């Protein structure tokens, strides 16, 4: 009985080993790529992924399955600026399956010396020849220490129908002071420091409701949100004559 059991175990180990070796010698059948285009982002397509994994370091298409290091493939993919996270695995048919989650842009920043997207992870995403994201524009001498505040500012604007309707851009005017630019009307919003977002935007929305709807979008030159508990609005000189 013991001998039969040992023989059975031996045969099982042999079959498993034989199957593994046979699988290892298989050529790669196909690369199946899934990219999260459902979110409306198109920084990454199949061609870009294949170009990355068939570069100098990997040569995935010509590598037998047994020599494939999927963790290394993931590591190389994750180094790409447009990719937030990749998942790579093999199936029993000899295919390599790749799932790509792209970086999500929250703003397009132009410093005068550099232009890039700011991601949700507060990293820089380079401009892409494949896709131009519809996000808030940001200009001026932007530093990395501004990234977190800008993300919070733009998150509030993008989530509010009224603010999103009016505000299209942010500009850094001074080392720690920002203005908001609008798509209708010839006025600017002096926001000041990137803090007290809720209080400032509540004042602005109230001002829109009580004043701008009555006098029109060109009546004021500046709307200043810097002061606590009040808005300072500057009328145009032509309106004062």
CATH number of domain containing 213: 3.40.50.11690
Which residues on adjacent β-strands are paired with residue 188?
A: 181, 222
Please give the residue range of the domain that contains residue 192.
Answer: 105-240
Domain end (from 102, 125, 156) = 102
* Residue whose C-alpha is closest to residue 148's, from 189, 107, 110, 192: 107
Residue 15 belongs to domain with CATH number: 3.10.20.310
Rounded CA-CA distance 104/118 in Å is 8
Identify the burial level of 197 via C-beta atoms within 10 angstroms of its C-beta, where 0-12 means exposed, 13-18 middle and 19 or more buried.
middle
- Clarify whether residues 74 and 137 are in a common domain: no
Based on the fold, state whether residues 94 and 33 are members of the same structural domain.
yes
pLDDT at 208: 86
HEC readout, 62-82: HCCHHHCCHHHHHHHHHCCCC
Residues 162, 205 contacting (CB under 8 angstroms): yes
pTM of the model: 0.81
Spell out the per-residue pLDDT of the chain, length 241, in tens.
565 554 555 454 544 444 444 545 567 788 899 999 988 899 999 999 998 888 766 666 666 766 778 898 999 999 999 999 999 988 888 888 999 999 999 999 999 999 999 999 999 999 999 999 999 999 999 999 999 999 999 999 999 999 999 999 999 998 889 999 998 888 899 999 999 999 999 999 988 888 877 777 778 899 999 988 888 888 876 544 4
Quick one: 10 and 88 in the same domain?
Answer: yes
DSSP H or E run through 18: helix 2-25
How many domains, in total, are found in the chain? 2
Same domain, 225 and 110: yes
Separation of alpha carbons 121 and 107, rounded Å? 12
């Amino acid at each position: 009985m013991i001998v039969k059991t040992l023989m059975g175990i031996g045969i099982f180990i042999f079959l498993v080993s034989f199957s593994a070796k046979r699988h290892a010698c298989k050529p790669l059948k196909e690369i199946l790529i899934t990219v999260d285009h459902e979110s409306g982002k198109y920084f990454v397509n199949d061609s870009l992924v294949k170009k990355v994994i068939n570069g100098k370091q990997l040569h995935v298409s010509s590598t037998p399955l047994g020599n494939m290091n999927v963790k290394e493939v993931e590591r190389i993919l994750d180094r790409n600026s447009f990719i937030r996270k990749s998942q790579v695995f093999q199936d029993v048919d000899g295919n390599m399956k790749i799932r790509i989650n792209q970086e999500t842009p929250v703003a397009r920043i132009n410093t005068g010396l550099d232009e890039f997207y700011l991601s949700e992870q507060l990293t820089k995403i380079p401009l892409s020849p494949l896709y131009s994201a519809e996000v808030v524009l940001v200009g001026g001498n932007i530093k990395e220490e501004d990234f977190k505040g800008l993300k919070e500012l733009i998150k509030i604007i993008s989530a509010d129908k009224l603010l999103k309707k009016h505000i299209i851009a942010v500009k850094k005017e001074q080392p720690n002071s920002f203005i908001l630019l609008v798509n209708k009307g010839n006025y600017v919003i002096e926001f000041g420091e990137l803090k007290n977002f809720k209080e400032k935007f509540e004042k602005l929305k109230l001002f829109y409701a009580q004043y701008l709807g009555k006098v029109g979008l060109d009546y004021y030159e500046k709307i200043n949100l810097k002061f606590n508990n009040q808005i300072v609005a500057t009328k145009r000189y032509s309106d004062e004559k």
